[in-house]
Amino acid sequence: MSVDALKALAASPYPDPNHPLPKPIVAGGAALMVATVAFCAFGHATGIGRTVEPAPVAVVSRDLVFTENDDKTLTVRDADRGGQVVKDFDPEDAGFIRALVRGMLRNRTRYGEPAVGAFRVSLARDGGVWLQDLGTHQNVDLRAFGPTQVQAFAQFVRPEEVAR
């Protein structure tokens, strides 16, 4: 093969019938894909190589119901105390709380759960604050969103526990 033919082959985006892809390259790519799928399946089946985050140990927790009212205010109620109002937010307040709860409510409908129900806010032994959807059992470590967002939810658990 001449130098000009090699340059033309390198410049063309697709091989033509006169210059197909070399079989060893195709076989190597296929073997790499098969090996990747096999290793992933093996790891999933056996647990070898997987990292599992241990469930947080809650020091204190509170079950809450978040309701967005017709006037766009957000009402937070204590699910264990007969729906006692914990806090009301004006329409322009609590943007992070609204967005996170809306996203988790969307997940409820995907799992076939009713779009109403309680969420558990937990203060963990390690100082983290977690939000758990009691319908889908989805957990969100609020530290991933920064200290301001942690405090947005930490206000719903007992203040003496949060102050530590």
Nearest C-alpha neighbor of 122 from the set 149, 102, 140, 106: 140
The pLDDT value recorded for residue 34 is 98
Q: Where are the domains of the chain?
A: 3-46, 58-162
CA 131 – CA 101 distance, rounded (Å): 9
The pLDDT value recorded for residue 163 is 40
The pLDDT value recorded for residue 148 is 92
CA 133 – CA 115 distance, rounded (Å): 11
The pLDDT value recorded for residue 162 is 42
Distance set, CA 108 to CA 100, 138, 140, 153 (Å) = 13, 10, 14, 20
Distance set, CA 2 to CA 7, 9, 10, 25 (Å) = 9, 11, 12, 21
The pLDDT value recorded for residue 114 is 84
CA 81 – CA 77 distance, rounded (Å): 8
Regions of the chain with pLDDT less than 50: 161-164
The pLDDT value recorded for residue 157 is 87
The pLDDT value recorded for residue 44 is 86
The pLDDT value recorded for residue 158 is 64
- The three-class DSSP label of residue 116 is coil
pTM here is 0.64
The pLDDT value recorded for residue 36 is 96
